[in-house]
Structure formats: structure tokens, C-alpha cells
């Protein structure tokens, strides 16, 4: 007769496992929510036209002349043999779980108590906005993971090694090739580490590892578009930012830039000027992005002539992130509570037909599936991080940065950079706030004093 034998783990392993029990339960619940999302919304959320340009670039890799660098399409290309946008969504849900785990692990590594380390990833793991983001064919989930991974490598040990600095440089370069807003983020990281006096070898390793991939991509971009750059839309974006305040009577631009002055066209958000048919840029001959250099030159003239107006607009738009009730910006978007019931057809576009032929023949409009979608529709109203709560998290991170600058200043500075950077170069978008949240939570969790006495390996961490 066979009898069941209970396997006993060694006592040290049992104690270690018990120490992570709370986070393990949270991770299982977060995974269940992601399974629910996969079941409730089929096949995945596809946005016109961003999702389809990503998918098309995955099939035909080339540097984009607009807003989208190559980083995210490379992930989509790795999944191309499966020809499934549902698989893309599943992988991104797994990346979301991995990002939350990374936050927990690095906090435990830096001696945060278990409950603090488990609490920090909760917004990322449970906020319905992240569930929706991961379920869409967009670059944001990959971008968030790369930024958090870069910070984790830099914060892994009390003393930064040259190898870790180089690894972080590669991760931030990958983030910049996923979303170009990470390019100034890389400069911010270098500045903070220089202030912390980590040593010139480590700084050099970070800079070298971060710039070489970007230079290689810029060379590839030049071979296709005749210009050494990462994007062909940076000037257009900055020009749109200035359209909310630019006064050409004060700027007095040179004659070749005067046609880019405001022409009376008004929209409800700076980013809308990029696409508004009546905007001055879009009345110039040719595609708007062929005027990227002129748009950038005009924007710089406007900012230099009206710096206080520029800063006031950036501050006003950034403040939208801290409202209790989500403010639509622009009015056409749904800033929160986007889980709904129904079916949404894809527009009739040649690019969509092309992507269906080449990437996934089963691509179709999104449909909600009951009862799974019904649960998410109810869940989202409770599971949403309100703006004032984000403000408190950032304030707690600022306190941690002052109290423990050697460990908390870097993630807090990156969180602020992620919040203000997109607004400064284009506009506010609730979607752009989501990468701020896990990094701000990482900084805030470091406000706990426990780690000041000794690190996990007996060395000071403060």
C-alpha cells in the first residue's frame, strides 16, 4: 500500500518562503485579474493608428520617421511566428507581473520590511488602468519594465559596480528606443549619479553603454531618412507644445519660420495641434513631419522669447495628474474607467488589412465577454489610483530622497522626470502618467527607516 509522503523544505528555506507569503498572495491575485482581462476582452485592444504601425514595423523593420522608434516593434517581431495579438496581450500581462515582482525584490534587497515591499507594487498590480494598458498593443508596458529594471540594476547593491552601471545604461537605452522620452531620462540618471559621486568609471560605463545603441540606431535612421536622429517628430511635438502660448508679436521669428505662427486655429490640448487640419504646420506643403526641423527651430524661439508662459503651461498641464476626478485631456479621450461592455469595429483602413494579412489574420474589433467583463467594469471604479494619492506618494518619495539621498534620490528624480518630461516636450496624457506610478512607489517605499541601520549584507544603505 502506497502512502503519501509530505516533503519538508529545509528550515532556512521555509523561513525565507514565509517571509514572502504576503507578496506571493498578492501576485496570485494580480495574475487572476489578468486572466480575467484576457477572458473579458477579446482578442486585444488595438488602437488606430498606433497599434497597426507597430505591427507593420514588426513585419517590416525600419526606423520610423514619426513618433515610434524600433524598440517595441522588436518585441512584436519576436512574437511574429505565433501570428496572434492575443499572445501579445498575454506576454504584456506577464511583463506587468514581472515588473511588480522586480519592485518587490529590489526593495527587499535594500532591506525594506516585507509589508512595505509588498505594498509598493500594489498600484501597478491592481490598478485597472494597468490592466487596460497591458491589454493594448502599445509600447508602454515594455517601457515601464525597462525603466524599473534599469533602476533595479543601479540600486541592487549599496555600492554601484561598473558592470551594473553598464547594464543599466543598456536598459535605459532600450527604454529610449521604446519611447524617446527616456532619452532625457538617461541624462537625468547620469546627473543624479554624478551628484552622488559614484565614480568616473561607473559614469563612463553608464554613458558608453547607453549611447552606443542609440548612436547605432541614429545611424540606421540616417541611412533611411538622411538625418542622424532617433525620431522625425521631436520638433513637431515641441512646436505643438508652444501653440498654447506662442505670440509671434513677441517672438518675432525669422521669415522662414513665420508660417509656423499660430493662425487662429484652437483645440483643447496642445497635442491636438499635431493633427488639427487647420493648424499652421498642417497647412504647409507636404507631410507635417517633413517640416520637423523648422518646427523645432520655431519652438525653441518661442520658448526663449516666452519662458514664463512656457513654464506656466507645463505646470498647469502637469497639475491635471493630481485631480481627484480624472479630467479628459483632450476631451475626446476616456482618462479612466475605460472597461465597458460592447463591440468596437476596426475602421476600414488599408494598413489594417495589410497587418491582418501579414501579422495576424484573426485581428478583429474588440468585444467584451460576460460575465468576465462585467466583473472588471465594476472593479475599475474601486481600483483606480486617484490624483491626490499619487501626489502623496510623490511627497513621501521626496521625503525619502531628502532623508536617504544615496538610495531614494534616484527613483524619485526619475519619477518626477517621467511626470514632467512628456508635458514639457508635448502635452499631458493620463496614459503617460502610468509609468510614474511604480517608480514613485519605489521611492516612497524607501522612506521607511529600517534600512538606515544596516543593509541586507551588513553595510549602510542610507
User: Which pLDDT value is given to residue 65?
Assistant: 82
Average pLDDT of 81-110?
97
Q: Average pLDDT of the chain?
A: 92
User: Which pLDDT value is given to residue 449?
Assistant: 72
- Burial (CB count within 10 angstroms: exposed 0-12, middle 13-18, buried 19+), residue 329: buried
Dihedral, CA atoms, 424, 426, 429, 435, nearest 10 degrees? -60
User: Which pLDDT value is given to residue 9?
Assistant: 52
Instruction: Identify whether the C-beta of residue 70 lies closer than 8 Å to the C-beta of residue 61.
Output: yes
User: Which pLDDT value is given to residue 13?
Assistant: 53
Query: pLDDT of 409-430, one tens digit each?
Result: 999 999 999 999 999 999 999 9
In the DSSP assignment, the letter for residue 329 is: S
Q: In angstroms, rounded to a whole number, what is the distance separating the alpha carbons of residues 326 and 309?
A: 25
**CA-closest candidate to residue 95, choices 21, 25, 166, 30:** 30
Query: pLDDT of 181-197, one tens digit each?
Result: 999 999 999 999 999 99
What percentage of the chain reaches a pLDDT higher than 70? 93
User: Which pLDDT value is given to residue 17?
Assistant: 62
User: Which pLDDT value is given to residue 456?
Assistant: 37
Q: In angstroms, rounded to a whole number, what is the distance separating the alpha carbons of residues 289 and 245?
A: 22
User: Which pLDDT value is given to residue 14?
Assistant: 58
pTM, to two decimals = 0.93
Query: Would you place residue 232 in the very low, low, confident or very high pLDDT band (cuts 50, 70, 90)?
Result: confident
Higher pLDDT, 317 or 110: 317
Instruction: Identify whether the C-beta of residue 146 lies closer than 8 Å to the C-beta of residue 72.
Output: no
**What three-state secondary structure class fits 366?**
strand
User: Which pLDDT value is given to residue 111?
Assistant: 84
Query: pLDDT of 35-76, one tens digit each?
Result: 999 999 999 999 998 999 999 999 999 998 888 899 999 999
Q: In angstroms, rounded to a whole number, what is the distance separating the alpha carbons of residues 292 and 256?
A: 13
User: Which pLDDT value is given to residue 457?
Assistant: 30
Average pLDDT of 144-159?
96
Query: Would you place residue 166 in the very low, low, confident or very high pLDDT band (cuts 50, 70, 90)?
Result: very high
**CA-closest candidate to residue 431, choices 230, 138, 44:** 138
DSSP alpha helix (H) spans, 306-371: 307-318, 350-358
Residue boundaries of the structural domains of the chain: 19-229+324-452
Per-residue pLDDT at 279 exceeds 80: yes
Amino acid at each position: 500500500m502506497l502512502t503519501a509522503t509530505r516533503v519538508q523544505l529545509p528550515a532556512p528555506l521555509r523561513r525565507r518562503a514565509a517571509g514572502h507569503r504576503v507578496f506571493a498572495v498578492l501576485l496570485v491575485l494580480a495574475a487572476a485579474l489578468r486572466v480575467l482581462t484576457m477572458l473579458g476582452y477579446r482578442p486585444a485592444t488595438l488602437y488606430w493608428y498606433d497599434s497597426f504601425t507597430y505591427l507593420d514595423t514588426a513585419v517590416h523593420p525600419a526606423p520610423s520617421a514619426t513618433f515610434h522608434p524600433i524598440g517595441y516593434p522588436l518585441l512584436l517581431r519576436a512574437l511574429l511566428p505565433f501570428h496572434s495579438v492575443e499572445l501579445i496581450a498575454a506576454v504584456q500581462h506577464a511583463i506587468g507581473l514581472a515588473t511588480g515582482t522586480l519592485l518587490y525584490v529590489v526593495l527587499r534587497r535594500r532591506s525594506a520590511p516585507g509589508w512595505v515591499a509588498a505594498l509598493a507594487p500594489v498600484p501597478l498590480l491592481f490598478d485597472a488602468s494597468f490592466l487596460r494598458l497591458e491589454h493594448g498593443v502599445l509600447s508602454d508596458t515594455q517601457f515601464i519594465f525597462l525603466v524599473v529594471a534599469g533602476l533595479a540594476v543601479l540600486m541592487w547593491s549599496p555600492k554601484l559596480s561598473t558592470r551594473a552601471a553598464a547594464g543599466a545604461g543598456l536598459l535605459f537605452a532600450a527604454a529610449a528606443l521604446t519611447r524617446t522620452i527616456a532619452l532625457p531620462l538617461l541624462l537625468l540618471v547620469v546627473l543624479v549619479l554624478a551628484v552622488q559621486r559614484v565614480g568616473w568609471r561607473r559614469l563612463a560605463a553608464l554613458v558608453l553603454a547607453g549611447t552606443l545603441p542609440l548612436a547605432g540606431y541614429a545611424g540606421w535612421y540616417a541611412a533611411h531618412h538622411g538625418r542622424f536622429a532617433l525620431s522625425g517628430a521631436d520638433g513637431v511635438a515641441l512646436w505643438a507644445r508652444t501653440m498654447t502660448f506662442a505670440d509671434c508679436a513677441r517672438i518675432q521669428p525669422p521669415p522662414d519660420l513665420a508660417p509656423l505662427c499660430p493662425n487662429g486655429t484652437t483645440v483643447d490640448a496642445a497635442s491636438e495641434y499635431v493633427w488639427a487640419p487647420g493648424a499652421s504646420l498642417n497647412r504647409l506643403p507636404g507631410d507635417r513631419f517633413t517640416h520637423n526641423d523648422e518646427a523645432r527651430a520655431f519652438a525653441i524661439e518661442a520658448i526663449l522669447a516666452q519662458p514664463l508662459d512656457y513654464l506656466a503651461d507645463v505646470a498647469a498641464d502637469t497639475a491635471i495628474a493630481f485631480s481627484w476626478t480624472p479630467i479628459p485631456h483632450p476631451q475626446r479621450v476616456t482618462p479612466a474607467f475605460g472597461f465597458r461592455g460592447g463591440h468596437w469595429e476596426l475602421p476600414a483602413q488599408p494598413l489594417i488589412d495589410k497587418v491582418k494579412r501579414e501579422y495576424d489574420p484573426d485581428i478583429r474589433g474588440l468585444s467584451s465577454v460576460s460575465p468576465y467583463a462585467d466583473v472588471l467594469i465594476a472593479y475599475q471604479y474601486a481600483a483606480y489610483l486617484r490624483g491626490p494619492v499619487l501626489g502623496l506618494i510623490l511627497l513621501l518619495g521626496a521625503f525619502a530622497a531628502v532623508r536617504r539621498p544615496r538610495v531614494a534620490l534616484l527613483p524619485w528624480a526619475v519619477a518626477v522626470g517621467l511626470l514632467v518630461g512628456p508635458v514639457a516636450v508635448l502635452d499631458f496624457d493620463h496614459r503617460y502618467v502610468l509609468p510614474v506610478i511604480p517608480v514613485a512607489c519605489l521611492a516612497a517605499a524607501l522612506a521607511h527607516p529600517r534600512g538606515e541601520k544596516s543593509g541586507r549584507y551588513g553595510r549602510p544603505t542610507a
